[in-house]
Structure 1
Amino acid sequence: MIDLSQYLPILIFLIIAAGLSAAFVFLPMGVSYLTGTHNPDAEKLSEYECGFPAFEDPRSQFDVRFYLVAILFIIFDLEAAFLFPWAVSLDLTGWAGWATMMVFLGELAIGLAYAWKVGALDWE
């Protein structure tokens, strides 16, 4: 026979967590429904952005340069994320770790130089 009494604290924890989650979600909604006024009009339902209506359709296409800059930002952000653990563990990795990181940084520098040369960083 399997003794399931060891799982009782986990079951109690899950029940309490589900109850608190439901309370945090549904209690504010219920209180606002009971205490708030529900008079939607054109002013309340209108879109707003910085206090005035949007200039153009919100589903308009972005220029492809926006995406290029975003991708370059993510690449160099990841580079910074790789540099911190590498710097901390450099004494363990030795010269092989140093050479590998220099190759990685070199590849990124070549990519940045190429992006700069073709004008991906120019914003008009």
Structure 2
Amino acid sequence: METTSQIEQLWPIAAFFIILVIMLIGMLLLSYVLGPKTKSRAKHTPYESGVISVDDNRTRFTNHFFLYAIFFVIFDLETIFLFAWVIAFDEVGWAGFIEACIFITILLAALVYLWRIGALELKKRHEPSRSRRAS
């Protein structure tokens, strides 16, 4: 009896993964069949973030790109925490409301701190390393 109950509970998950794998294989096959078949020199050139990577290209990126990504992830995760609080609003009551207010206050303090130290300002644009050496 218990084994039948477990199978009944797990079949939707198994069906989901089977359908997922079938869709994945189908999309890969469709892109292979319908995709362009041209061969050119540019097709095999690495291209990432708008920069064509060649031996002569010595563009260096400063860390502000990394900082923007980290700030986004941090504040995005905090939004998820606030969303969970909103869903459980009836259960947490006033104690939960006070905790959420403290949480938002800490977030605002962190944002003001980042703003005051200039971490949100785009100080330098990326430039080729040759022009930095020349200056």
Q: Could you state the TM-score of these two structures normalised by the residue count of structure 1?
A: 0.58
Q: Deviations over 1:14-64 (max 9, x none)?
A: xx77x94796456875x68xxx86x74435434567xx9738778854322
Gap runs ≥5 in structure 1: 1-6
Paired position in structure 2 for 1:123: 122
Gap runs ≥5 in structure 2: 1-6, 124-135
CA deviation after TM superposition for structure 1 residue 110, in Å? 1.1
CA deviation after TM superposition for structure 1 residue 93, in Å? 0.4
Normalized per residue, the structure richer in strand is 2
Higher-RCO chain (CA-CA 8 Å, sequence separation at least 6)? 2
Label 1:83 to 1:56 Cα distance change in 2 as closer, same or farther (>3 A): farther
Higher-Rg member (1/2): 1
Pairs aligned (count): 107
User: Identity over the aligned pairs, expressed in percent?
Assistant: 35
Q: Is the 2:46–2:52 Cα contact (8 Å) retained in structure 1?
A: yes
Q: What is the Cα-based RMSD across aligned positions, in Å?
A: 4.1
Structure 1 segments, 4+ long, off by >6 Å, are 55-59
The DSSP-based 3-state class of the residue aligned with 1:111 is helix
Q: Is the 2:68–2:120 Cα contact (8 Å) retained in structure 1?
A: yes
- C-alpha separation in 2, matches of 1:71 and 1:53: 22
